[in-house]
Chain A
Amino acid sequence: MIEIHHLDKQYGNDREGTALHDINLVIDRGEFVFIVGPSGAGKSTLMKLFMREILPTRGSIKIFGRDITRLKNRQIPFLRRNIGMVFQDFRLLSDRNVFDNVAFALQVIGTTRREIRKRVPAALEMVGIKDQMWKKPDELSGGEQQRVSVARALVNRPAVLMADEPTGNLDPQTASGIMDLFNEINVRGTTVIVATHAKEQVNRLQKRVIILENGCMVSDQERGVYCNAY
């Protein structure tokens, strides 16, 4: 589903600006992958490359069999409709209620109102906050807000769900709930890629773990752990 070959990303011209160096990676359909590493290891850069927010300096990124580095600007939105994205800071619109926040993702791609009325409650039910549908984000806890953000990423039924430090702003117990939700989503067939440095969560779930350090891939383990050494 995702294939990366000899990927380099350099910010600016000097070698110190190297964010990723010679990354080779294959992620299959239905996998759950943790991308871990300390701050500045290149996790977020990799996520930005997947979303085609930035272009690599060298190498190719194939998603759904297509090299996304060759996409024209007007083709990018259609790539993103197949990738749901979750962020550390939730990125919810504070002036809209939960329903409208999730519906927003469908509205802007031209989904009919009828379809929106059907799909939004289903997505909210899946993440376990259907009963909070008419509340504003400010009235929810951090964990609940992140669930809204997950519902928004899922409502368009993407093939891949990506999360960049999704538990960074949450306490350990709430973080576990969010990670379990990702696991559940993965069990239902969605490919999940989570960039994080939450060791306990990574070690608890026992999924594939890719470790990045200084822009290089230092380890790729099935049912791996994130050791203290990193």
Chain B
Amino acid sequence: MHIRSLLYFFGEALKSILRNGWMSLASIAVVAITLLILGSFMVLNRNVNEITRHIKEDVQIVLYVQEEATAAVQMELQQQLIAHPEMQEVRFVSKSEAMERLMDRLGDRAHLVEYYMNEESNPLRNSYELRTRIPEDIPQVAREIERYPGVDYVDYGSGVVEPLFQFTGVVRWVGLLFMGGLAVTAVFLISHTIRLTVYIRRKEIMIMKYVGATEWFIRWPFIFEGLILGFVGALIPIFIIQYSYQTSVLWMQENIYFISMLPPEAVMQELVTLLIPLGMILGVVGSGISVRRFLKV
């Protein structure tokens, strides 16, 4: 494309946007709102994912060894656990280590359990802390290893873990569907705006046809218009999200410190690299649809 033509298309698109001021403003606003919802949801989704990732990482199986299990049985149990294909980490916690942890947790009141410190009087059991490669496999693995010799019982937060995994799965799918729906809406709205522009400029288009403008020479300004609408429509939510996210991160740090949100820089960088091209793609796709359907050249 010649630089002179490029400047012409760009100029015509800008002129058209300014000429149809209110309509352009309305479509930018609608695109901005759509991308604002989309962007906010993305930020929320990223943070929810991050939090659930942390929670998932903390989920583990604790296997308690039978008190009467012999050293040989215990050794065989350990080998079976290590050999399990889904297992990522097998950590042995002796009853004395468990007691030390308990005393740590009790802090000032540790003296209450001092009596149980020696090997004979310690009521706690030897145990294994186990992590699976895929956190979602925990319930299945727990059921399998429960039957191993020397196992007293297995605890993995049954009844808590399953709904958590179900919830995060639902959040992810609903999020994807929601984003898809919003993207379709944005394309529809841009396409509608360009359709109106085509209608408003029908006389100009007709003259262009009669004086011998090529098909693409007529089409390009509309494509550029969609591109600009999409670009500006993406800039607005970026500024709004940047300001509001920074504010919420600061507020969370001060008030709900145990939930750590992702740093604004990382989120914003991701948002800019995704939202701007997305806005432009939506703009081009939207105008492309209208140009193909309504611009008969």
Is the contact region of chain B dominated by helix, strand, or loop, or is it mixed? helix
Q: Which residue of A lies closest to B215 (CB)?
A: A74
Q: Which residue of A lies closest to B218 (CB)?
A: A108
Q: In the assembly, what is the distance between CA of A109 and CA of B216, in Å?
A: 11
Does B4 touch A at the CB level, under 8 Å?
Answer: yes
Q: In the assembly, what is the distance between CA of A80 and CA of B208, in Å?
A: 10
Q: Which residue of B lies closest to A96 (CB)?
A: B204
Does A81 touch B at the CB level, under 8 Å?
Answer: yes
Q: A85-B210, A112-B4 are in contact. Are A77 and B204 (CB under 8 A)?
A: no
Q: A110-B2, A110-B4 are in contact. Are A80 and B211 (CB under 8 A)?
A: yes
Does B159 touch A at the CB level, under 8 Å?
Answer: no
Q: A110-B2, A110-B4, A110-B5 are in contact. Are A77 and B207 (CB under 8 A)?
A: no
Does B212 touch A at the CB level, under 8 Å?
Answer: yes
Q: Which residues of B from 1 to 29 have beta carbons under 8 Å from A?
A: 2, 4-5, 8, 19
| CB pair B210 A81 closer than 8 Å | no
Q: In the assembly, what is the distance between CA of A73 and CA of B216, in Å?
A: 12
B41: chain A residues at CB < 8 Å are none
B5: chain A residues at CB < 8 Å are 110
B208: chain A residues at CB < 8 Å are 104, 108
| CB pair B211 A152 closer than 8 Å | yes
| CB pair A91 B212 closer than 8 Å | no
Q: Contacting B210 at CB < 8 Å: which of A80, A95, A112?
A: A80
Instruction: Give per-residue flags for A71-99: 1 if the beta carbon is below 8 A from chain B beta carbons, else 0.
Output: 00110011111000100000101010000
Q: Which residue of B lies closest to A109 (CB)?
A: B212
Interface size of B by CB at 8 A reads 19
B203: chain A residues at CB < 8 Å are 91, 93
| CB pair A105 B215 closer than 8 Å | no
Does B217 touch A at the CB level, under 8 Å?
Answer: yes
Q: Which residue of B lies closest to A95 (CB)?
A: B19
Q: Contacting A73 at CB < 8 Å: which of B19, B207, B212, B215?
A: B215
Q: Contacting A108 at CB < 8 Å: which of B2, B4, B19, B217?
A: B217
Q: In the assembly, what is the distance between CA of A73 and CA of B219, in Å?
A: 14
CB distance from B116 to the nearest CB of A (A): 91
Does B209 touch A at the CB level, under 8 Å?
Answer: yes
Does A169 touch B at the CB level, under 8 Å?
Answer: no
Q: A91-B203, A93-B204 are in contact. Are A108 and B213 (CB under 8 A)?
A: yes
Q: In the assembly, what is the distance between CA of A110 and CA of B19, in Å?
A: 23
| CB pair B19 A77 closer than 8 Å | no
Q: Give chain A's interface residues, CB within 8 Å of chain B.
A: 51, 73-74, 77-81, 85, 91, 93, 95, 104-105, 107-110, 112, 152, 156
In the assembled complex, 19 residue pairs joining A and B whose CB atoms fall closer than 8 Å, in A order, are A73-B215, A77-B212, A77-B213, A77-B214, A79-B212, A80-B209, A81-B212, A85-B210, A91-B206, A93-B207, A95-B19, A104-B208, A105-B207, A108-B208, A108-B218, A109-B212, A112-B4, A152-B207, A156-B212
Given A73-B215, A80-B211, 13 more pairs with CB closer than 8 A: A74-B214, A77-B213, A85-B210, A85-B211, A93-B203, A93-B207, A95-B19, A107-B8, A108-B213, A108-B217, A112-B4, A152-B207, A156-B212
In the A-B complex, the 3 residue pairs with the closest CB atoms = A81-B212, A108-B213, A80-B212
